[in-house]
Amino acid sequence: LTDPQDIRLMSSISSKIPFEWISFLLFLAALSATPLTAGFISKEWILYSLAHQNVGWKFYAIVFLSVLTMLYT
């Protein structure tokens, strides 16, 4: 357990470097398109514009990929 890259040693990262921890959480929220973040607004506009056009399968592909992004984040 002396390896500094061991994930178990990173459990107290919020107390060691709080600014980076908060930044990481904000970036994670934007990546997963949490409401009121830039990622959510951009995905919403893309999906809104595709929903009002006759693009067929592209809309469903983008919705599926958005869900996958949310799941792996």
Yes or no: say if 32 and 70 are a contact pair by the CB < 8 Å rule.
Answer: yes
What's the chain's Rg over C-alpha atoms?
18
Q: How far apart are CA 65 and CA 55, in angstroms?
A: 16
Q: Is the pLDDT of residue 10 over 60?
A: yes
Q: Is the pLDDT of residue 25 over 70?
A: yes
DSSP state of 17: S
Hey, what are 19's tokens?
């600014």
pLDDT confidence band for 7 (50 / 70 / 90): low
Which pLDDT belongs to residue 2? 59
